[in-house]
Amino acid sequence: MKKAFIFPGQGSQFPGMAKELYDSNQKAKELLEKANEILGFRITDIMFEGTPEDLKATKVTQPAIFLHSVVLAKCIEDFAPDMVAGHSLGEFSALAAAGAIGFEDALRLVSLRATQMQACCEKVPGMMAAIIGLSNEKVEEICASCEGIVLAANYNSDGQVVISGEKEAVGQACAKAKEEGAKRALPLAVSGAFHSPLMEPARIELGKAIEQTPMSAPVCPVYQNVTALPTSDPAVIKENLLAQLTSPVKWTQSVRNMLSDGALSFTEVGPGAVLQGLVKRIAGPVEGLEIKGLTTL
């Protein structure tokens, strides 16, 4: 039975995240203290004692989720994945956990990603919305028929696609989706149009840092968001990471490919349980399929 380890993205944070891990494991404590040094502020204080509002600050949210996920993975004694994948931000966690990027380098990239995305959102207003109950193709068709920039940004599961783009265009697409029979067209509480062309300024800045970051072959194939395909080639990994900020997250397609390649065990590593729910919906009834989560050791 092949084991897949999957890593969550933004939105999975919660007050008290990783505190149990910090208190019970010396290695985890050392890594988290190292992260405080690298970031230049005590992110652990916010993770352990902050309010939900404190944890929503972009410069905190992304590094916090990354740290919870990667530190936990590094403390699992028998961590031996056959394949890994992460949703959006979680792709950086997956790459660090699988040894493609060093812990410190990956944390610096995640911190830069967060600040650049926030700056981008402030300069170029945009929004995202979840469309529930329509096929991928129908959502793509609706986006293509709208004026302005709007496109499918997250293929989360069958019948759940997140769109992203300019506010007016996203609003127009939501109205059309309802006319076409969508169960819901729900604006998301995010600060901008992630995984759309509106993130281009952030992509350029992050791209410079990715280009300079040492990359190794991971211990197992990584199924990347941009292609949904497995790779262990550092050059391909970099290329896909460079494209990730302005390209859709092909999560449904990634999980399908992992299943096709023999994954029967999916373990979500880090805060929350969002990906477990998505995998269940994507996989449907599969004999012997095991889906679980790890938030602490």
At 150 the three-state DSSP class reads: strand
Give the CB-side neighbour count of residue 269, counting CA atoms within 13 A.
32
Name the packing angle between helices 58-75 and 90-97 (round to 10°): 30
- Residues sharing a CB contact under 8 Å with residue 292, sequence separation 6 or more, in sequence order: 265, 266, 267, 268, 276
Catalytic residue numbers? 88, 195
d(CA 219, CA 233) in angstroms, rounded, equals 11
Check residue 249 and report its DSSP letter: B
d(CA 202, CA 67) in angstroms, rounded, equals 21
Nearest to 165 by CA among 183, 190, 135: 190
* b (16+ CB within 10 A) / e for 183-194: eebeebebbbbb
**Cα 114 to the chain's mean position, in Å?**
12
Check residue 288 and report its DSSP letter: T
- The two tokens of residue 33 are 């203290």
- Residues sharing a CB contact under 8 Å with residue 234, sequence separation 6 or more, in sequence order: 100, 215, 216, 217
Contact 174, 108 (CB under 8 A): no
Residue 81 neighbours by CB distance under 10 Å: 25
